Amino acid sequence: MMGFATIMDADAPLLLFDSGVGGLSVLAEVRKVLPAAPVIYAADNGGLPYGTKSEAEVAARVCGLLGRMAERYHPRLICIACNTASTIALGMVRDVLNVPIVGTVPAIKPAAAMTRTGTIGLLGTAATIRQGYVDRLEAEFAQGKRLLRFAAGELVGAAEAKLRGEPVDPAVFARAAAGLRDQPGGADIDTVVLACTHFPLLRDELAKAFGPGVQFVDGAAGIARRIAALTAGQPFARSIGDLALFTKQDNSLAALADTLKDAGLERVEVL
Ligand code: DGL
């Protein structure tokens, strides 16, 4: 990894990768700390959702796509802005790509520091919540606490729909809250880890569904700080508008136009 900063083009982009629009919750935090950084936001909409796929499928897509994207766009750093992809494939991607890689890890550590009741809820995709990666985070950082997990993959579609400007049935959020609350000890949850980058996009809806007394925590601000630290001292200058990159041409691209514009993504390409 040595030497990256020494021959850095000022317009070399940061590449943020997710299955869909979830990583925009990470991009928003990155913009706050690195407003001048050129960005490619890549969404594998052809593979969405990841949360219902097998580990092998997710790993193959993520490694293959990031390899192609790295070759084509020469990013200075790649952020896997997706918990599912990170908890499954972060190590593999690091092994094969000669670019600094920042992953997205469920924010169990900060949640353990924040909880007063000692009971933490975790909402993620089905694929994320079964990962050994999450077991290890729990063992390391949530010892003596109770961590209740619920697969709320339905929220991924809800976030996608919301950002396309479509209405979402509030029953979706009620089911996510009940999925944690109805577990033994669930009534004591005072802190909920949003362990999928799509979920912070639904924070208001989830807060309503959980009711007062519950705080939400996600990793986006920490990831942005990590990216800033890894690129400290590097020159940043945009020579062209930031790019939204998709893996499949479909109707959702037009429906997301306003969302992409709001995120500062001025151009759209399909890989
Ligand atoms: N945004 C992704 C995550 O953080 C996954 C959504 C999906 O494709 O299932 O896990």
CATH number at residue 143: 3.40.50.1860
Q: State residue 8's pLDDT score.
A: 78
Please confirm, yes or no, whether 82 is among the known catalytic residues.
yes
Same domain (yes/no): 112, 63? no
Contacts of 40 (CB under 8 A, 6+ apart): 13, 14, 15, 16, 69, 73, 75, 242, 243, 244, 245
Residues 28 and 96 in one domain: yes
pLDDT at position 7 is 65
Q: What is the pLDDT of residues 253-271, one digit of tens each?
A: 999 999 999 999 999 999 9
Indicate the pLDDT class of residue 4, thresholds 50, 70 and 90: low
- The 10 Å CB-count burial string (b at 16+, else e) for 126-137 is bbbbebebbeeb
Phi, psi of 235 (to 5 degrees): -75, 145
Most informative mutation of 16, 17, 18 for ligand 1 (most atoms within 8 A of CB): 18
Same domain, 129 and 61: no
**Phi, psi (rounded to 5 degrees) for 268:** -130, 135
Q: Active-site residue 79, yes or no?
A: no
Looking at the structure of the chain, the number of domains it has is 2
**CA-based angle 83:64:201, to the nearest 5?**
30
User: Same structural domain for residues 137 and 93?
Assistant: no
Which pLDDT score is estimated for 157?
A: 97
In 3D, which of 250, 262, 182, 258 has the Cα closest to residue 43? 250
Same domain, yes or no, for 97 and 182? no
pLDDT digits (tens, 9 = 90+) for 20-63: 999 999 999 999 999 999 999 999 999 999 999 999 999 999 99
Q: Tell me how far apart the alpha carbons of residues 107 and 123 are, in angstroms, rounded to a whole number.
A: 11
Domain's final residue, options 196, 218, 240: 218
The whole-model pTM stands at 0.95
Do 184 and 114 reside in the same domain of the chain? yes
